[in-house]
Chains A and B, each alone.
Chain A
């Protein structure tokens, strides 16, 4: 069964702590993306990666970091520098790096709450 898995589904963190959200895909997709979703707003791109060992900042990268050491994995770290980290985080992938005519496949999401 191919797809994208994200863990954990719910995550609680104390203010000032870094936390890493997992994203794994077994679709053999080249490109992977991290989005943030806040109530009443559209999804916003945090980071994306078109190829292993390379990634680019999206619209709201400040306070976040990523790595892409393996094709199937694209973890997102929410650092203590992120001013308002409580949100729903979605990981996605597309088959080709260009992605322009590709369907985006989404993971189930991780809901992060900072206490």
Chain B
């Protein structure tokens, strides 16, 4: 079964630290998503990428297609960044309308 692996599972950081969350997958994909889930449960899409790098504010997402690996970076972390970050991929192939999700990385940023 195609899987999405995230690391670490849990991450605690001091405010201001640079944070990296990793995601790896097993076969070719058409797109990779990074999502943010706040304690209330709602999910927000942060990035969708199929190559290279994207930046939005203090968030940066990169993907290496050859290595089947993506990273989400948060610069100058803040307590409001505390959330679960989820990686999801859409595998290539006919009829591939589904996303396969990682289990998430729980980030806690301490003031």
Contact = CB atoms under 8 A, between A and B. Distances in A.
A30 B86 CA distance: 24
B47 to A, nearest CB: 9
Contacts of B102: 42
Interface stretch (A20-28, A65-73, A75-83, A97-105): A97-105
A98 B86 CA distance: 22
A83 to B, nearest CB: 21
A48 B101 CA distance: 15
B100 A42 contact: yes
On chain A, which size bracket covers the interface?
A: 20 to 34
B60 interface: no
Given A99-B97, A104-B33, A42 B86 contact: yes
B36 to A, nearest CB: 10
A90 B43 contact: yes
A76 B101 CA distance: 21
A3 to B, nearest CB: 10
A108 interface: yes
Interface residues of B, number: 25
User: Of residues B42, B88, B97, which shows the largest number of chain A Cβ atoms within 10 Å of its Cβ?
Assistant: B97
Given A100-B30, A101-B31, A45 B99 contact: yes
Nearest to B29: A100
User: Of residues A42, A58, A92, A99, which shows the largest number of chain B Cβ atoms within 10 Å of its Cβ?
Assistant: A42
B10 to A, nearest CB: 11
A88 to B, nearest CB: 6
Interface in B7-24: none
A36 B102 CA distance: 13
A40 to B, nearest CB: 6
B22 to A, nearest CB: 15
Interface of B: 4, 30-31, 33, 35, 40-45, 48, 50, 86, 88, 90, 96-104
